[in-house]
Amino acid sequence: MESSLNEVRMWSSGIAAVVFGCLSIYLRLGWRGGMLGGRLMVAMLVSCAWAALDALAPQGLLWAWLSLVLEVLRPAMWSFFLLGLLSVATRTEAGEGSSSWVQQAAQAVFAGALMMSVAAVLVAGLGRWVFYAQLLMVVWLLVLVEQVYRNFPGGSRWGIKPIILGLGCVLSFDFYLFAEAALLGHVDNDVLAVRGFVQALVAPLAAMSAVRSRDWTFRITVSRQLVFHSTALAGSGLYLLLIAAAGYYIRWFGGSWGRALQTAMIAGGVFLLVFAAFSGSFRARVRVWLNKNLFAYRYDYREAWLRFTKALSGVSAGGQAGLTLEQSVIWALAELVESPGGVLWLRDVDDVYRPRAKLNCPLNEGEEPADAPLASFMRTHGWIVNLEEWRSRPSLYQGLAVPPWLSAASDAWLLVPLISGEEMVAFAVLATARAPIEVNWEVLDLLKTAGRQAASYLGRAQATAALLEAQKFDSFNRMSAFVVHDLKNLVAQLSLMLKNATRHKDNPEFQADMLLTVENVAERMRGLMTQLQNKEPIEHKRWIDVGDLCAAVLAERRASGPAVSLDAEPELGVFGQVERLQRIIGHVVQNATEATPEHGKVSIAVRRAGRDVMVEVRDTGCGMTSEFVRERLFRPFQTTKQNGMGIGAFEVQQYVRELGGRVEVESEPNVGTRFALIFPSSERNETSVA
């Protein structure tokens, strides 16, 4: 029996030594030079040494004397720390530099107890006097604990409560141990064996107070996730131990039914544990309880903000995946207050808020104009509306009128305005939280800040959608301009044909040419209309012989203006659309002939330029100034022609760039112009694509 108690004592003190040692190192890493923090670390280090020596239990007079010294030094260091706390408390109450009679008396009693302990060692040996001295030290520490708690202002006790509670419980245990030893003349070994376990309880509570109390100047970061998972793990372990113990006694006293009842109870206990682990409401209640009782602030703002921004960015969080931006906003806001979801009301172009997205909540039907009382109130004040508070105390919200659709929503809890600048982009209606939460200033400030961040995301998304829509219209308008330009050329062909019809209507050759022209114009117009309707070219890209294409351009040209010569190298091709390429080359040739008098010259040369193919059009016409070429030639709707649209040169440059080429222009007034279209060369065997 004695050996078993010694083994229990060894493990008990060993665990205490490890706990005190680890927390001392942790506090040292976060210490920033505070006097009270230094006293606390010294007290915990001495407690670590005392527990380690008690766990090793070395033999001999020297070790016995050292053990007694640590037995006295440990409460002395805790007394030193408590005196520092008491000094802070009395300084708060009586002013800077005051010293109360309690402190003076406490120091005198402490000195007397220490001298009595030393006298017991030197004179009376290890007898009953030691127990009296230790009992006096315990009583003295209990008085100090009571005075510290009594003298601290009520608003400041939250920080010291854990360590005061821990020291009170541990000292009560020591009081029982040494009071019995002083009466009987020996220590109860059963109680002494578990003393280390009891003493270790004060270490985490002391660390908790160090985290709560900023005046001790510890910069300690305790991960809330670590605390949550550690608490969940410890609670699960304790729960399983209780289930196992209950199952053991059921089996023991259950007779023939004992084993079956034990199996049923363990299975049921495990089922309840799994259910609790996957219950969002249960996890929310645990988190709320931990944040409320273990931390000075409800939120770990770094972690909360990282999780919030990830949710807004579309990163899966909390098992939610595949959400739209609007649903991500709901999820991010709801997670801050343990809400299961809600509804997002977004402002449309007609300044009316409508429900746009929902998450774990029914979608409300209704509209809320921007000038309605609810929207005006949230936009003007920027307040978070707590509907539970509004129902019980409506006067706090200055006569706010709630619309019928919101009154009918029984699970609606918080209204969060999403404000960007001076405009309310949207507002979120959050469902009732899974665990009771006090909506205090901290929750309201975080929701306001998060609401503004979410509003910026929604505003940017709306601006992006509007920009994409504008780009689509711009693309359609650009294509329409090209189509209208081509129609103008076709109308010009028909007008010229009608002009000549009066003189040549009886000529069979003219009639045949007229029918061919009308057929060609009709085919071109059908193609242009199809292109406009489908918003994309109807012709696929393929390999094109540029020399043959230029010859086709000259064949369609009417015999008016100066003669045009063609010099083309054979088998020079590009990869593109025949109709569009023929149109832009024809436009360049037409501009050259229109700018050149009858006696002038216009030439087309198709040749290789390195790895590229160049179509060069030269004329001896009126030319252009360098300023016009630089600033106006390729800008849409800029033209010098009386009936021109200013689209042709712009289309030339756009399509050449689309094929990966470039345009070069050299011109001089009254001398002429060189217009070069340079394309990447292509081999004949390239396949056609859309």
- d(CA 303, CA 322) in angstroms, rounded, equals 22
Say if CB 334 and CB 359 are below 8 A apart: yes
∠371-373-374 over CA atoms, to 5°?
A: 105
Task: Return d(Cα 515, Cα 347) in angstroms, integer.
Answer: 58
Query: Which DSSP string corresponds to 153-222?
Result: -GGGHHHHHHHHHHHHHHHHHHHHHHHHHHHHSS--HHHHHTHHHHHHTHHHHHHHHHHH-GGG-B----
Beta-bridged to residue 615, according to DSSP, are 606, 677
Q: Work out whether the CA dihedral 369, 375, 376, 379 comes out positive or negative.
A: negative
pLDDT of residue 371: 87
**Helix H or strand E segment including 352:** strand 352-359
The identity of residue 377, as a single letter, is F
What is the distance between the alpha carbons of residues 26 and 19, in angstroms, rounded to a whole number?
A: 11
The pLDDT of residue 282 is 61
DSSP state of 123: I
606 DSSP β-pair partners: 568, 615
Task: Determine the Cα–Cα distance for residues 333 and 306; give it in Å rounded to an integer.
Answer: 13
Distance from C-alpha of 654 to C-alpha of 49, rounded to nearest angstrom: 83
pLDDT value of residue 545: 92
Helices (H), 278-352: 280-294, 301-312, 325-336
Which one, of 207, 195, 198, 296, lies nearest residue 25 by Cα?
207
Low pLDDT (below 50) residues in the chain: 1, 93-99, 118-119, 121-124, 316-319, 538, 688-690
| Number of Cβ within a 10 Å radius of residue 103 | 16
User: By three-state DSSP, how is residue 468 classified?
Assistant: helix
Would you give the end-to-end CA distance of the chain in angstroms?
A: 93
Look at residue 550 in the predicted model and tell me its pLDDT: 92
Q: Quick one: pLDDT at residue 289?
A: 57
Each residue's pLDDT tens digit, 373-429: 888 888 888 888 888 888 888 888 877 888 888 877 878 889 999 998 888 999 999
Strands 672-680 and 662-668: antiparallel
Q: How high is the pLDDT of residue 98?
A: 42
- Using CA atoms in the order 153, 159, 162, 167, what is the torsion angle rounded to 10 degrees? -60
pLDDT (0 to 100) of residue 325 = 84
Report the pLDDT value the prediction gives residue 449, as an integer from 0 to 100. 86
